[in-house]
Amino acid sequence: MAERRRDQRDGREPAQDVGQARGRSVRAEEADAWGALIATARRTVSDGLVVGTSGNVSVRVGDTVLVTPSGVPYDRLAPADTVGVDLDGRQVLGTLLPTSELPMHLAVYRSTDARAVVHTHAVHATAVSTLVPELPLIHYMSAALGGPVRVAPYATYGTEELAENMLHALADRSACLLQNHGTIAYGTSLDQAYDRTAQLEWMCRLWLTASSVPGLSPSLLTGEQVAEVGERLRGYGQRG
C-alpha cells in the first residue's frame, strides 16, 4: 500500500507485476534487456551525460523496442515498469507512456541495423552543436563513429521533423549532434551505443578545450587520415 500511495502522489500509475503488462506478458529476454536498459540509463546520469530525465535509452528485442518512459527518473525504474512498442510505435508492453523522443528511436531502428540507441543532452556536445555544422576532426576516434560527426538542424523535440533531420545527419555514421539539443548514437548493443555517446562527448570537450586557448587554433586531422584510422579499427580488439 505504501508503494501504491507513493506512485499516486507522484502522478504515476501503480506499478504492475511484470506479467501484468499491457498487451501481453514480458518475455524472459525482454526482462533481461530491460534490466540492462535501466543500468545504461542510470549510467548516463552518473557519468554526467544526462541531468534529470533529459535523455532516453532504447533497446530492440526482435520486433519490440523497449524504451525509457517519459518523465520518470531512472533511479525509480523497476522491472514492473517495462515499456515496449512495436516498430510502428504501438505500445505493446507497460502502462507508462514511452519517451517523447520515440520518433527518433524508431527512425533509427527502421533505417539501420541498430539494436540499441542512446540520446543525451551532454553539455559539451550540446555546446558544440550550437557553434558548428560538423564537429571538426580534432581526434582520430571520429573514425569510430563513421567519420566527421554532423550536426542535425534544429527541430522541436519529439517531432517527425527532428527524426528526419537526424537521419540525414546519421547517413553512414553511428552518431550525430542535434543542434541546440544534444546527441544520439546507436550500436549493436547497449554498451556500444553508450560508448559511442561517451566518445562523442569526450571529443566535443576536447575541441572546446583546445579552441579556448587565446591566440591559438587546434590542429585538425584530414579526412584521409581519419579514413585510414577507420580501416585500422576494423581489425581492432581481441580475436576469437
Active-site residue set = 101
Furthest C-alpha separation in the chain: 64
Distance between CA atoms of residues 106 and 119, nearest Å: 12
3-state secondary structure of 169: helix
Distance of CA 126 to the CA centre of its chain: 14
Q: CB–CB of 183/119 below 8 Å?
A: yes
Q: What is the DSSP string of 11-59?
A: TPPPPPPGGG-SSSPPPHHHHHHHHHHHHHHHHHHHTTS--TT--EEEE
